[in-house]
A and B are shown apart, each in its own frame.
Chain A
Amino acid sequence: EPEVTQTPSHQVTQMGQEVILRCVPISNHLYFYWYRQILGQKVEFLVSFYNNEISEKSEIFDDQFSVERPDGSNFTLKIRSTKLEDSAMYFCASSEGGGAEAFFGQGTRLTVV
């Protein structure tokens, strides 16, 4: 069964460092997303991506964040200068259409120290 895969599963980084989280969405899906979940809290939307550009972003997705689809399979989230409050589980997801059923990857737990 097709699935969304994310790497790494866990990343520890020092405050101020750049991190790149990687995702391989389901191959025939057109929309890609990043969500985050601070421990014990709700799942928050960061950004959606369609047709090689950002479709929608939340207020959390500020200038420190960027997304890219560098080739035909990978979808990345970059945080330029990490802060302590960026520590969270980051989920990549993909769907056939915008607002359609989203399939989530296993997540990357980011710890900023």
Chain B
Amino acid sequence: ELKVEQNPLFLSMQEGKNYTIYCNYSTTSDRLYWYRQDPGKSLESLFVLLSNGAVKQEGRLMASLDTKARLSTLHITAAVHDLSATYFCGAPGGSRLTFGEGTQLTVNP
């Protein structure tokens, strides 16, 4: 059974700081997805990582994938309040996506 683990689960950071969220998954996969969820809202697709070494950047967020290590990272650069949300990574297995527990990010002024 595919297991996906994220850490940290809770992250409180100050505006302007940098931090990295980690996503480990238990089986071989050449793809990994990152989603953002605002409170009471749906999941919004952020990044699609389709191969080993893939790196995608959007604004202050950058995601990478190392399929050999079964690890993906979501790096936050110079955080701003608008980035406060819960971030989920999802790994495919069969026809499903299995999600991590989510990282609840709070960016404080």
Contacts and interface: CB of A to CB of B under 8 A. Distances in A.
Contact of B45 (A48, A98, A103): A103
Contacts of A44: 99
Interface string A42-73: 11110010100001101000000000000000
Given A42-B101, A43-B88, A91 B96 contact: no
B90 to A, nearest CB: 8
B109 interface: no
A91 B90 CA distance: 15
A33 B95 CA distance: 9
Given A33-B96, A48-B96, A56-B95, A101 B48 contact: yes
24 contacts: A31-B95, A33-B96, A33-B97, A42-B88, A42-B102, A43-B43, A43-B88, A43-B99, A45-B96, A45-B97, A45-B98, A48-B94, A50-B95, A55-B94, A55-B95, A56-B94, A56-B96, A98-B95, A99-B94, A99-B95, A99-B96, A99-B97, A101-B45, A103-B45
Interface residues of A, number: 23
A104 B96 CA distance: 13
A38 to B, nearest CB: 12
Given A33-B96, A42-B101, A42-B102, A101 B33 contact: yes
Interface of A: 31, 33, 41-45, 48, 50, 55-56, 58, 91, 98-107
Interface residues of B, number: 22
Given A99-B94, A99-B97, A101-B48, 6 more contacts: A42-B100, A58-B96, A91-B42, A98-B95, A102-B97, A106-B42
Nearest to B43: A104
Contacts of A99: 31, 92-97
B101 A98 contact: no
B68 interface: no
Contacts of B97: 33, 45, 99, 102
A104 B42 contact: yes
